[in-house]
Structure 1
Amino acid sequence: MRSERLLSILLLLQSHGQLPSSELAERLEVSVRTIMRDVEALSASGVPVYTVRGPHGGIALLPGFRTDVTGLTADESRALFVLLSGSAHADLGLGAALGSALRKVMAALPAPHRPDADLTSRRVLIDPVRWRGAPGPDHTAPDLTAFQDAVFTDRRLRLRYRHGRDDRVHTYTLDPYGLVNKAGVWYLVADRDGEPRLFRTDRADSAAVLDEPVRRRPGSELTDVWDLLRRGIDDLPAPLAVTVRVRTDVLAMFLRVHAADLAAPGVAPQTVPPDRADDPGWTRVELRFRSVPAAQPLLAFGADVEVLTPDELRRHLALTSAATAALYAPGRDD
């Protein structure tokens, strides 16, 4: 524990220069007396640390002394600060630990790398949980060059964009906050006419960075705007109640794939007596989807998953399966 505290003192002094002993004590949650003993230990080990007396005094390192405890390159430094969403760390009970770790890494970075690392932490976010009822990414990597340029240089973006609801191309002038990777799909978070909006980068016909500086709303950061937009989508009710039965031997995989579609997310279903005495080894699962087409990914499990209700979904999946089977029927003319 003490060795970790000694390293923290060294990194804080490297990052901030001279600091009062009371501030170091507050940051590290120990007494001033403990800090002074730690400073003596650092000095005895050869670290050129000294105290400055007086009302503006404190603890400092000898000017010019640096120790690179990371050996990180500029790109490696930026990569470390592409953060997972705060909720992902919080769910694991690692929210406080993440903040502490990043502060230590930031303090240890060579000074020229720090601005880029800090900017990356505020402009790029990774959210690993896919939208409820949404299929996975099609693995088509969009060109993010213009988006990154706008995001990291704080300039406005002219976007020609094709919405999913129609086939028309709309042109917008946007004020970007940053980029979010949502379960493998890249989104631009930006203001359009002063209102927060979300744009899938793979639906962009073109993107051009303008010479105009970005006009973000004061006090708004990427994490705040993303959380607002995400909740606006996730909190929408999924009106289609679906009951399926899943073969027990594929249940674990099914629950991983459809975790976001569970009627009670985070609560695993219980194995129930089979619906048919001659067909054991099934588990009933209750799901919610936004629409009948949104439930079509259930077909990926083939005969290992059967939709019990509603009938309209059973008919839709039957027609889709028949059309697919006909497409691959032996002897079909091209």
Structure 2
Amino acid sequence: MKSERLLSIMLLLQIHGQLPAGDLAERLEVSVRTVMRDVEALSAAGVPVYTVRGPHGGIALLPGYRTNVTGLTTDEARALFVLLSDHAHAELGLGQALGSALRKLMAALPAPHRPDADLASRRILIDPVRWRAGPARAATGPTTDLAVLQQAIFTDRRLRLRYRHGRDNRVRSYTLDPYGLVNKAGVWYLVADHRGEPALFRTDRSLSAALLDEPVQRRAGLELADVWESLRRHIDDIPAPLLVTVSVRRETLGRFLRIHEADLAGPPPADLSLGTGGQSERVTVELRFRSLGAAETLLAFGTDAEVLAPAELRQALARKAAEAAARYTDDSRRATDAT
């Protein structure tokens, strides 16, 4: 819409001072002629915008001129306040700067949009750091429409959720008091209380969700960020006592590290190039796992990744490999199973 484009031109010129008409046209995905017409419209409306001729010319805004953040839709105001988690900003040394910036931005928002923006900042969280305890896992795409979950968290209503658990594949139903939604390294989670206890639900494992005509019953004094931090620590801070030494074929090392980066017990190998000359064909990598069962995923690499220690893990993998080999070589069992 033209009004949104005019506001975008003013904000871009406030930030950059002066921009070539071609740059503005490219940023706004319109023609240069459209940009010039918009500049004329801004000037006619009293905005001190002008053109500068010459090879270093462009469109400029009178120095010192500022405009309030107006023309925002409700969704745009909410989007501004869907933020990275606090600890991500703290790690960058930007915690105090973030708070200051939000206060200034909130003050600049038109009054009707402030409640929605504030609510979004307390109900939706983005945490870009993947789980320490395992490799990154892509979401399979939510089976429940996120809009239903958003409606529950923005209207403070209870939620009925049918959910398939990853640990045993069983489907259970829950009545939940939601705090909000968290995007953890690309995967959406619903954070909610179940019978007064905090719980975490991957949205791509939910089968259905329905709003209830009951107000939410959250624990007093707690916000999404508080409950999320508690749940995150419960998962991430469990010690991984099992130290595993693995010999990895150099040709497979890149893929191996992408999958097991979060399990590394130290820095990754410095040289990831393929073996040439005197280089060894295999590289030794140290990993940490929570248990023998968690470490058994290494068997997926076959002979490309050989566990050197501990001995009990080697024995467990040998048993599983033998069972798999027997399964695929026992023709009589295969015939029996087929019938």
Q: TM-score, normalised by structure 1?
A: 0.64
Structure-2 separation of matches of 1:155 and 1:105: 28
Residue 287 of structure 2 is matched in structure 1 by 287
Residue 103 of structure 1 is matched in structure 2 by 103
Q: Percent identity?
A: 66
CA contact (8 A) 1:156 1:176 kept: yes
1:1-334 superposed matches below 5 A = 67-69=67-69, 72-131=72-131, 132-143=133-144, 144-246=146-248, 257-264=259-266, 267=267, 279-280=279-280, 283-291=283-291, 294-295=294-295, 306-309=306-309, 310-312=313-315, 315=318
Q: Relative to structure 1, is the Cα distance of residues 259 and 89 closer, same or farther in structure 2, using a 3 angstrom cutoff? A: farther
Structure-1 separation of matches of 2:187 and 2:94: 25
Q: Relative to structure 1, is the Cα distance of residues 295 and 81 closer, same or farther in structure 2, using a 3 angstrom cutoff? A: farther
Structure-1 separation of matches of 2:217 and 2:78: 24
Q: CA deviation at 1:106?
A: 1.8
CA contact (8 A) 1:133 1:295 kept: no
Residue 45 of structure 2 is matched in structure 1 by none
Could you tell me which runs of 5 or more consecutive residues in structure 2 were left unpaired when the two chains were aligned: 1-65, 272-276, 330-339
Partner secondary structure for residue 126 of structure 2 = strand
Q: Relative to structure 1, is the Cα distance of residues 315 and 135 closer, same or farther in structure 2, using a 3 angstrom cutoff? A: farther
Partner secondary structure for residue 68 of structure 2 = coil
AA at the equivalent of 1:209: L
Partner secondary structure for residue 76 of structure 2 = helix
Residue 6 of structure 1 is matched in structure 2 by none
Structure-2 separation of matches of 1:285 and 1:70: 55
Q: Relative to structure 1, is the Cα distance of residues 205 and 282 closer, same or farther in structure 2, using a 3 angstrom cutoff? A: same
Q: Relative to structure 1, is the Cα distance of residues 320 and 90 closer, same or farther in structure 2, using a 3 angstrom cutoff? A: farther
Q: CA deviation at 1:307?
A: 3.8
Q: CA deviation at 1:171?
A: 1.9
Could you tell me which runs of 5 or more consecutive residues in structure 1 were left unpaired when the two chains were aligned: 1-65, 272-276, 327-334
AA at the equivalent of 2:229: D
CA contact (8 A) 1:189 1:197 kept: yes
Structure-2 separation of matches of 1:123 and 1:304: 45
Structure-2 separation of matches of 1:253 and 1:104: 45
Partner secondary structure for residue 216 of structure 1 = coil
AA at the equivalent of 1:115: P
AA at the equivalent of 1:140: G
CA contact (8 A) 1:179 1:188 kept: yes
CA contact (8 A) 2:69 2:110 kept: no
Structure-1 separation of matches of 2:253 and 2:110: 49
Structure-2 separation of matches of 1:106 and 1:313: 57
CA contact (8 A) 1:270 1:284 kept: no
Q: How many pairs does the alignment contain?
A: 258
Residue 35 of structure 2 is matched in structure 1 by none
Output one character per residue of 1:111-150: Cα deviation in whole Å (capped at 9) or x when no partner. Answer: 2222111111100111122221245124423431221111
Q: Relative to structure 1, is the Cα distance of residues 297 and 74 closer, same or farther in structure 2, using a 3 angstrom cutoff? A: farther
Q: Relative to structure 1, is the Cα distance of residues 166 and 105 closer, same or farther in structure 2, using a 3 angstrom cutoff? A: same
AA at the equivalent of 2:101: A
AA at the equivalent of 2:314: D
CA contact (8 A) 2:143 2:208 kept: no
Output one character per residue of 1:188-237: Cα deviation in whole Å (capped at 9) or x when no partner. Answer: 11111111111122222221111111111111011111111111111223
CA contact (8 A) 1:160 1:169 kept: yes
Output one character per residue of 1:4-45: Cα deviation in whole Å (capped at 9) or x when no partner. Answer: xxxxxxxxxxxxxxxxxxxxxxxxxxxxxxxxxxxxxxxxxx
Structure-2 separation of matches of 1:297 and 1:90: 34
Q: Relative to structure 1, is the Cα distance of residues 106 and 255 closer, same or farther in structure 2, using a 3 angstrom cutoff? A: farther
Structure-2 separation of matches of 1:322 and 1:80: 55
AA at the equivalent of 1:77: A
Structure-1 separation of matches of 2:198 and 2:140: 27
CA contact (8 A) 1:189 1:196 kept: yes
Q: CA deviation at 1:246?
A: 4.9
Structure-1 separation of matches of 2:297 and 2:125: 27
Structure-1 separation of matches of 2:168 and 2:255: 34
Partner secondary structure for residue 133 of structure 1 = coil
Q: Relative to structure 1, is the Cα distance of residues 284 and 68 closer, same or farther in structure 2, using a 3 angstrom cutoff? A: same
